[in-house]
């Protein structure tokens, strides 16, 4: 995994913000048809960015975070504020809606955090004998 | 490590190493490589014999079920040259198992082709791997893990921590320049013993590039990994999940709720490189050291 990308994720510090009032949050991929495109959390759930907008009392506004780059894609967080202000900022791993969908940032972060761990076996799509022999010289793969 | 063989006529695709109690046995079969490794205090000759016998079980299954061998019972069955009743009993056993799995996965796993032939290739490798593994368990080789061409099985008596950790490869070929890890799981302390990954990384020239999303048709996945108590269950569900596409997580969550004793966990890689997973999966990631 490119070290540059890993640092980007570590520094982006995904912050989950609790919003009050009629705020609609949309969390979606910048492109593609990922499952989360259809799992937009309803108001009352949380999303945010490390540069959450300060409450200013301004009228309704849509604030879009910078593209947050993950190794697995990009996520753009849009916050449409119709009323109220940011009441609390949480860093956590709360699920998005009904417990069946993992909050995207925490799932990816957990996956990334585990990457450097030593392991005994490697699971992948079934490889051919030739691919096995080629891969043996790589320090990353432990196929045998 | 010492390269040692304990058969008068070793198979060309077999390698056995045994030193300081740590063994590694690799067997080429079914177009891939099965790697058994672990610890044993058995005499080398006896250990070697058991491992070769495990290899025999794999080759016997290949002789029966290989669709690449026109003389195999499964090929002859598909060609209409024989009947199920005339085939070895194990063919009927696999047939019944495939029917059960087709029901369990609501048809997303099926061994019955559009041409109405029976092709159980989707579970024969893991079925044979499990049989070989069980033979070893029954013969005193219990501190052991198996990598069956990318499908992983861990023995209950596995003693070293690192052997409970299973990495998942990126959705690219292990032989490619982009080879590398998606993540690492730790199954120690769980009931799970098997990890299977389904994907098209090893077939064709698919290149995984998160900056160029949408290369895959909508509804398809780059990869699916399933963690289960049983190797065949992990394999079948990985195939089913991969076929289902992004909705698989929702469907699997419903299955798990209704069938808690055979629940499985899944991680999918979406066409644009994103991830989704069943609820329990997040607890399986290895803790950073």
How distant is the Cα of A56 from the closest Cα of chain B, in angstroms? 34
Q: Is B54 on the interface with A (CB under 8 A)?
A: no
CA distance B206 to B30: 23
Question: What's the ipTM?
Answer: 0.91
Of B179, B183, B198, the CB nearest to A140: B179
Task: Name the H helices within chain B.
Answer: 44-65, 73-78, 89-104, 121-138, 231-244, 248-258
For residue B52, give every residue at least 6 positions away whose Cβ sits within 8 Å of its Cβ, in sequence order, or none: B6, B7, B10, B14, B16
Q: Tell me what pLDDT residue B263 has.
A: 97
pLDDT > 80? residue A31: no
Assign domain A61-143 one CATH number from 3.90.1010.20, 3.30.540.10, 3.40.50.1820, 3.30.750.200.
Answer: 3.90.1010.20
Would you place residue A135 in the very low, low, confident or very high pLDDT band (cuts 50, 70, 90)? confident
Interchain CB distance below 8 Å, B175 and A130: yes
| C-beta atoms of A102 and B210 within 8 A | no
Distances (CA, A) of B26 to A55, B22, B44: 63, 14, 16
Residue A144 touches chain B, beta carbons under 8 Å: yes
For helices B44-65 and B121-138, the axis angle rounded to 10 degrees is: 160
Considering only CB atoms, B274 lies closest to which of A104, A113, A119, namely: A104
Nearest chain B residue to A133 by CA distance is B175
Of B200, B271, B287, the CB nearest to A33: B271
Kind of pairing between the strands at B165-169 and A121-123 = parallel
The per-residue pLDDT for B194 is 98
Question: How many angstroms away from the CA of B263 is the closest CA of chain A?
Answer: 14
C-alpha distances in angstroms, A101 versus A95, A98, B253?
6, 7, 10
List chain A domain ranges. Answer: 61-143
Chain B residues touching A124 at Cβ < 8 A: 150, 168-169, 174, 197, 199, 201-202
- Predicted confidence (pLDDT) at residue A18 exceeds the cutoff of 70: no
pLDDT band at A72 (very low <50, low <70, confident <90, very high): very low
Mean pLDDT of A44-67: 44
| Of the ranges A1-15, A126-140, B38-52, the best mean pLDDT one | B38-52
Return the DSSP state at B226.
Answer: E
289 residues of chain B, pLDDT tens digit each: 444 545 556 688 999 999 999 999 999 999 999 999 999 999 999 999 999 999 999 999 999 999 999 999 999 999 999 999 999 999 999 999 999 999 999 999 999 988 889 999 999 999 999 999 999 999 999 999 999 999 999 999 999 999 999 999 999 889 888 888 999 999 999 999 999 999 988 874 343 433 334 444 445 899 999 999 999 999 999 999 999 999 999 999 999 999 999 999 999 999 888 899 999 999 999 998 7
Name the DSSP letter for residue B118. Answer: B
Least confident of A28-42, A127-141, B202-216: A28-42
β-partners of residue A24 are: A80
Interface test with B, best of A99, A120, A140 (most B CBs within 10 A): A120
Residues of B in contact with A112 (CB under 8 A): 183
Nearest by CB to residue A117, choosing from B32, B274, B289, is B289
The pLDDT, as a whole number, for residue B248 is 95
pLDDT on residue B288: 81
**Structure confidence at residue A99 (pLDDT):** 34
Contact between B63 and B76 (Cβ < 8 Å): no
For B:119-138, CB contacts with A below 8 A are: 125
Q: Is B89 helix (H, G, I), strand (E, B) or coil?
A: helix
Distance (Å, rounded) from C-alpha B252 to C-alpha B194? 17
pLDDT of B16: 94
Which of helix, strand or coil describes residue B201?
coil
pTM (predicted TM-score): 0.74
The percent of residues in chain A predicted with pLDDT above 70, rounded, is 24
Query: Given A32, A36, A74, which is nearest B271 (Cβ)?
Result: A32
A82 touches chain B (CB under 8 A): no
Euclidean distance between CA atoms B184 and B108, whole angstroms = 27
């Amino acid at each position: 995994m490119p070290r540059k990308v890993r640092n980007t994720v570590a520094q982006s510090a995904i912050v989950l913000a609790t919003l009050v009032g009629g705020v609609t949050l949309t969390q979606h991929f910048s492109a593609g048809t990922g499952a989360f495109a259809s799992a937009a959390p309803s108001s009352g759930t949380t999303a945010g960015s490390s540069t959450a907008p300060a409450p200013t009392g301004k009228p309704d506004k849509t604030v879009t975070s910078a593209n947050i780059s993950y190794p697995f894609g990009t996520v753009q967080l849009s916050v449409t504020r119709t009323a109220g202000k940011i009441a609390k900022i949480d860093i956590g791993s709360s699920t998005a809606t009904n417990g069946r969908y993992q909050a995207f940032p925490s799932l990816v972060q957990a996956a990334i955090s585990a990457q450097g761990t030593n392991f005994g076996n490697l699971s992948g799509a079934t490889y051919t004998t030739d691919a096995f022999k080629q891969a043996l010289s790589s320090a990353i793969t432990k196929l045998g | 490590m010492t390269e040692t063989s304990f058969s008068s006529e070793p198979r060309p695709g077999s390698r056995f190493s045994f030193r300081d109690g740590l063994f590694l046995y690799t067997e080429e079969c079914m177009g891939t490589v099965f790697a058994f490794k672990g610890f044993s205090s058995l005499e080398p000759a006896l250990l070697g014999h058991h491992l070769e016998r495990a290899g025999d079980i794999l080759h016997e299954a290949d002789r029966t079920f290989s669709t690449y061998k026109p003389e195999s019972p499964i090929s002859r069955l598909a060609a209409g040259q024989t009947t199920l009743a005339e085939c070895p009993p194990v063919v009927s056993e696999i047939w019944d198992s495939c029917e059960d799995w087709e029901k369990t996965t609501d048809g997303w796993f099926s061994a019955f082709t559009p041409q109405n032939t029976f092709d159980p290739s989707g579970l024969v490798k893991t079925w044979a791997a499990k049989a070989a593994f069980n033979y070893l368990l029954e013969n005193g080789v219990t501190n052991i893990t198996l990598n069956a061409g990318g499908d992983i099985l861990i023995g209950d008596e596995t003693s070293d921590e690192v052997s409970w950790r299973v990495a998942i490869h990126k959705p690219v070929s292990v032989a490619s320049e982009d080879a590398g890890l998606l993540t690492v799981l730790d199954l120690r302390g769980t009931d799970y013993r098997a990890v299977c990954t389904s994907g098209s990384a090893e077939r064709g020239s698919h290149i995984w590039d998160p900056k160029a999303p949408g290369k895959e048709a909508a509804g398809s996945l780059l990869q699916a990994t399933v963690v289960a108590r049983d190797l065949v269950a992990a394999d079948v569900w990985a195939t089913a999940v991969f076929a289902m596409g992004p909705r698989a997580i929702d469907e699997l969550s419903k299955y798990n709720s209704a069938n808690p004793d055979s629940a499985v966990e899944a991680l999918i890689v979406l066409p644009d490189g994103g991830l989704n997973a069943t609820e329990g999966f997040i607890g399986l990631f290895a803790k950073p050291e």
